A and B are shown apart, each in its own frame.
Chain A
């Protein structure tokens, strides 16, 4: 039971990040490595703000805005300075490593005794004792669902239509008199906003920031997106964003399974890489069959 809860918790936290990766990888066709820097950015900002007494709930929108700024920068590097997509992300990821260290002031920053969105006076007073073990998973569920629905809502606005069109057919945007570069920047901003928000939730869940928490985030995001979109391609009742969330949970389940079979958590990155490779190969096989 504890294992299932932990998979759900982690899966849904990373799902918010995966929604961001979905925007760049699937919609913009932009493999954005900024993610490895913007995820720990959310964690760094959050532990610092919480330790300074800022309300934990407030750290979520603040993280989103900061992430959106970071995504905007990646977009400007790519669109205005005409640096290739992968390289733009690598530049930002590298720069953010220092930025994150500066924000936190050190490589490891625990907040064991502070209030978080999972553990605060308000929650402790309203949640009945019987539900207490589930508080965390419920809070994460609410945050993730809100993110998913906001993203769905955005995608059905006029601005969201442009975002959906830009990856598909950039020529159409030009024909419509729209600056496709700007639309890409907006997409990168929203994507990294979500990733950073996810990093904020992650830090509050783990109760610490560590400079290495970002390493490999993009791989987890890509794996979740690919699992979600290729597994549920046929099921049209499920929105793509929902499939991405489920994909993220499934991915965490796979990792948990691998660990429970005797692998140690120090093997985690290796498991991540091998799993990702497997997923890529399997997803490609399915494409060929079609």
Chain B
């Protein structure tokens, strides 16, 4: 279980640009939930993920994972059981290394990076089996540098890499946003399949309302650092993209634009 308790976060404190994003923000994610997060630009979705992952520290408040206080835990240590995929496909892979090397380095997560060989020939077949269902032809390109792949191919690889080893949380930040509709669909299906198979607790930020409605068992809408809508399970099943649009528009009207 992941908990954000009374989290406060200001930007540019002490300057004229001071801005309060989260004020006594509380958020809880139960084990096994697949949460889709929607919300307008600047509503604080990425910031929330950054706080959870430790890319940014809270001003006050607590972040707990399974009861353990990780508020000030180092970013890289938190990732030992967290997988993360970014909007930018190049952030999840290493361009100067080939697909096999990328998969191998990800496969070793959680184990020591010592002086034994970086790649294991015996695993090549297993890697190919992982890549084949993507239908992107990556299984024949194990020795191609990742820098030479398309954004969609890289993102698929990044998603596989972030979920290869056992993780408790999967954090996805608009991970289909940079992809064409067809590839986005493939990546979204793959995401869903991985989340179901591994039963990994997932937070997925997306601007695609259809994905938010179709996938996951909880839907959260954020606005100016607060949660303005939160539907899970049965409630969520009955929600449509139109309902979400309506709430969106309502908020905009209330804010006077």
Q: Which A residues lie at the B interface, using CB under 8 A?
A: 154, 156-162, 164-165, 168-169, 171-180
Contacts and interface: CB of A to CB of B under 8 A. Distances in A.
Given A161-B118, A168-B97, A172-B92, A177 B108 contact: no
A156 B76 contact: no
Interface string B94-114: 111100010011101110111
24 contacts: A154-B115, A157-B116, A158-B113, A159-B113, A159-B114, A161-B104, A165-B94, A168-B94, A169-B91, A169-B93, A169-B95, A172-B91, A172-B93, A172-B94, A174-B75, A174-B79, A175-B79, A175-B84, A176-B79, A176-B105, A176-B106, A177-B80, A178-B113, A179-B74
A158 B79 contact: no
Contacts of B122: none
B76 A158 contact: no
B151 to A, nearest CB: 15
B117 interface: yes
A168 B76 contact: no
Interface of B: 74-77, 79-80, 83-84, 86, 90-97, 101, 104-106, 108-110, 112-119, 162
Contacts of A158: 105, 108, 112-118
A50 to B, nearest CB: 31
**Of residues A156, A157, A162, A174, which shows the largest number of chain B Cβ atoms within 10 Å of its Cβ?**
A174
Nearest to A159: B113
Nearest to A155: B118
B7 to A, nearest CB: 21
**Of residues A160, A168, A174, A176, which shows the largest number of chain B Cβ atoms within 10 Å of its Cβ?**
A176
A162 B105 contact: yes
A247 B159 CA distance: 39
A180 B92 CA distance: 15
A110 B106 CA distance: 52
